[in-house]
Amino acid sequence: MVSTTTSRSIAGLSVLVATALIAGCSSAEDGTVDSGSSTEVTTTQSKEGFPVTVTFAPEAPVTIEDQPERIVSLSPAITETLFAVGAGDHVVAVDEYSNYPEDAPLVQGLSGFTPNVESILDYDPDLVVLMSADDSILTGLDAAGVDTLVIPAAENLDETYSQIEQVGRATGFEDQATTVVDQMKTAIDAAVATVPEEVKEQGLTYFHELGSDLFTVSEQTYIGQIYDMFGLTSIADGGDAYSQLSNEAIIAANPDLIFLSDAKAENLTAEDIAARPGWDTIDAVANGRIYILDDDIASRWGPRVSQLVEEIAAQLNQLASSEAVPAAA
């Protein structure tokens, strides 16, 4: 009995090994065939400055041989960046969450979370941008000879600038990228400057709502750092980067300002917030200081970060110009 099952297993394994060997041989051949055809395709369009090497921390550096002509982006933030630096014409498909700019070729069902490798390859890309390193996808794309860039969400403003510049480099629009970054810096500096010092030095506290389950941010997060530029302190400061608070905790902390980044996703208005039980006792609610941010702008660390900063600055300026300037919390 045992001998028959063992021989069956051996037979099965041999099939596996044989198939693996076939596969291995094919992949090895791949290398030699590949370089032949790819140079064939791109010699006519050899752009100056290429090949380039770009780095997106914490990933390893990647070398791009030639200017990408067909880009697939599975990262909403990078989609915005690509269009901002002028590479929009080279973008052939973007994931279902890349809703900005409107003329981005959004494909329903194309997902950055569970990518279908063949669907991606169906667009015949020469560059694919991903938000996280998924080994199997990367190996698949690599085997097909497609360049990949893994660009995780930026952790701070400087990283955003660096990412925009690197994306520009990778796509052959380096100059434009530099311009975008300069514009952002100027806009941000200007926005921050418009807010009077008294407001910034008041030590105002805020509650930034990520979702109606009361998840919020601390100063360690990207947006926390932006608020910090205005001298604002999160009521969750000192804790985890992302933490879930309870109603009582928020009421007890009594924030001066409330920012919503889930208004679009969860269909919330300032009235809805004010109507939450016990919340009418919160300073921010009592003084009408509930500010709605655009969901996407407040969660994508791409070129529109400057818009976010401007929005926040505008709200704070309204605050400053209104009669009742709140006392320090």
Partner 1 sequence: MLKRIFLNPWVATALSVVILGFVVLFSGFSGVIDLSPTAVIRHLSGQDTLTPRDQAIFFDIRLPRIIAGVIVGATLAISGASYQAVFRNPLADPYLLGVSAGSGLGVTAVIVGGTVLGFSAPSIGVIGAAFVGGVAAVLATLMVSRGVGQGSSTTVVILAGVAVAAFASSIQTYIQQRHIDTVARVYVWMLGNLNVTNWMSIFIVAVVAGLCAAVIMSCARLLDVMAVGDVEARTLGVDPGLVRIGIVIVATLGTAAVVSISGLIGFVGIIVPHALRLIVGPGHRILLPLSFVWGAIFLVLADTAGRTLMAPQELPVGVVTAALGAPFFLFILRRTSRQRVPKRSA
Residues engaged in binding partner 1 (CB under 8 A)? 1-2, 5-6, 8-9, 12-13, 16-17, 19-20, 22-24, 26-27, 29-30, 33-34, 37-38, 58-59, 107-111, 113-122, 124, 132-137, 139-140, 143-145, 152, 215, 240-244
What is the DSSP-derived secondary structure letter of residue 66? S
- 235 Cα distance to chain centroid: 25
Neighbours of 199 (CB within 10 A): 18
Q: Rounded to the nearest whole angstrom, what is the least distance from the CB of residue 33 to partner 1 in the complex?
A: 5
Listing DSSP states for 35-47 in one string gives HHHHHHHHGGG--
Q: Name the helix (H) or strand (E) containing 272.
A: helix 270-274
| Closer residue to partner 1 (CB): 126 or 310 | 126
| Closer residue to partner 1 (CB): 19 or 55 | 19
Q: Rounded to the nearest whole angstrom, what is the least distance from the CB of residue 104 to partner 1 in the complex?
A: 15
d(C-alpha 240, C-alpha 59), whole Å: 25
Q: Rounded to the nearest whole angstrom, what is the least distance from the CB of residue 13 to partner 1 in the complex?
A: 6
* Rg from Cα positions in the chain: 25
**Among candidate residues 85, 268, 260, 287, the one with its CA nearest the CA of residue 183:** 85
Burial category of 84 from C-beta neighbours within 10 Å (exposed 0-12, middle 13-18, buried 19 and up):
buried
273 Cβ partners below 8 Å, 6+ apart? 209, 258, 260, 279, 285, 290
| Closer residue to partner 1 (CB): 121 or 274 | 121
Q: Rounded to the nearest whole angstrom, what is the least distance from the CB of residue 41 to partner 1 in the complex?
A: 11
| Closer residue to partner 1 (CB): 38 or 307 | 38
Q: Rounded to the nearest whole angstrom, what is the least distance from the CB of residue 28 to partner 1 in the complex?
A: 11
CA distance from start to end of the chain = 80
SS3 209: strand
| Closer residue to partner 1 (CB): 122 or 280 | 122
| Closer residue to partner 1 (CB): 239 or 326 | 239
Q: Rounded to the nearest whole angstrom, what is the least distance from the CB of residue 154 to partner 1 in the complex?
A: 13
| Closer residue to partner 1 (CB): 135 or 198 | 135
* The CA-based dihedral angle spanning residues 255, 261, 265, 266, taken in that order and rounded to the nearest 10 degrees: 10
Q: Rounded to the nearest whole angstrom, what is the least distance from the CB of residue 138 to partner 1 in the complex?
A: 8
φ/ψ (deg, to 5) at 113? -90, -45
Q: Rounded to the nearest whole angstrom, what is the least distance from the CB of residue 102 to partner 1 in the complex?
A: 20
Q: Which residue has the tokens 């982006």?
A: 73
d(C-alpha 67, C-alpha 153), whole Å: 24
| Closer residue to partner 1 (CB): 115 or 255 | 115
d(C-alpha 251, C-alpha 281), whole Å: 7
| Closer residue to partner 1 (CB): 74 or 204 | 74
252 Cβ partners below 8 Å, 6+ apart? none
182 Cβ partners below 8 Å, 6+ apart? none
Q: Rounded to the nearest whole angstrom, what is the least distance from the CB of residue 159 to partner 1 in the complex?
A: 14
